[in-house]
Amino acid sequence: MLKDISIPSKADPKRIKWDVLFLLREFKYYLSRGEFIEISSLNQLLREKLKYKVLYKVRFNLDFLFQFPNYFYLEKFEIENELDDELEAIKNFQCSRIDPFIDELVKDLNSFDLNLKQIEFDTLYRQGYFIIPLVSNFTHLSSLSIYDCDLELKSFNKLISKLEKLEFLYLNRVEFVVLAEEWHLDYETLLPNSLKELEIGYMNLRKEYYKNAPYNFLLNNTGEYMMEQYYIPPQRLPNLKKLSLSMDTKFYINYFGNLLDLNP
């Protein structure tokens, strides 16, 4: 709960420790997004005191996303009940539901300006395929975390190449997706030289057969597909201070040695 701290009516606002009064998690728990925007606009002092505490990190999980009335992923029967012309709606699922939601999300995050330093994606599964690429709009990020999400490998490699200021990267239980027609291509993940801390967990490479069919990708995901483990190769990371590996496989037996060879 919010701390019960009494403030004298004549207290000097400049001497109030706002970062003690408003704890990030508790503050956001009690206020809706609209209420937060309203209260944060009360005066410049309050905004300056709160912006680093509140705006520096966004955590994308289902509880957060379900706050948006136009979130594109609902239960299958709820989506089908909303479709007036089912075949036409399924055909245009990307442009009618997914793209407008992502555009609005990017617009909201842009309002955080350069205060937004950390983004975490947690347990989005197949929804992550469409949401995580928005990271490429925020090249000033210092920390990126992805847990229990699906993501096109090509999109990940593209966005990670843009994060030239990234210092912390955490990946665990990530399903990297490759379209069936691109399975033969060689995708190598190159990490930014700015990394100071890297955590690598379980990652798979999955061949998908749903091309340009986001509705089926999200809701009819029982089809057959090929899967194999995916590894980020050792590479030169001159600023790396900490490396954590949670995969116990033969590939990583020599990982530290190879990494040290590349980073003398």
Per residue in 44-93, pLDDT tens?
A: 555 566 666 667 889 999 989 988 888 887 654 455 555 554 555 567 78
pTM score, whole prediction: 0.76
**Is 176 buried (19+), middle (13-18) or exposed (0-12) by CB count in 10 A?**
buried
For the structural domain made of 56-262, what CATH number should be given?
3.80.10
Rg for the chain, CA atoms, rounded: 21
Identify the pLDDT of residue 15. Answer: 62
The size of the chain, in residues, is 264
Give the residue among 9, 8, 5, 29 at the shortest CA–CA distance from 18: 5
Residue 95, both tokens: 């442009």
Residue 214, both tokens: 């986001």
Residue boundaries of the structural domains of the chain: 10-54, 56-262
**pLDDT tens, residue by residue, 111-170:** 777 788 999 999 999 999 999 999 999 999 999 999 999 999 999 999 999 999 999 999
Residue 25 has pLDDT above 80, yes or no: no
**Partners of 237 in the beta sheet?**
none
**Is 203 buried (19+), middle (13-18) or exposed (0-12) by CB count in 10 A?**
buried
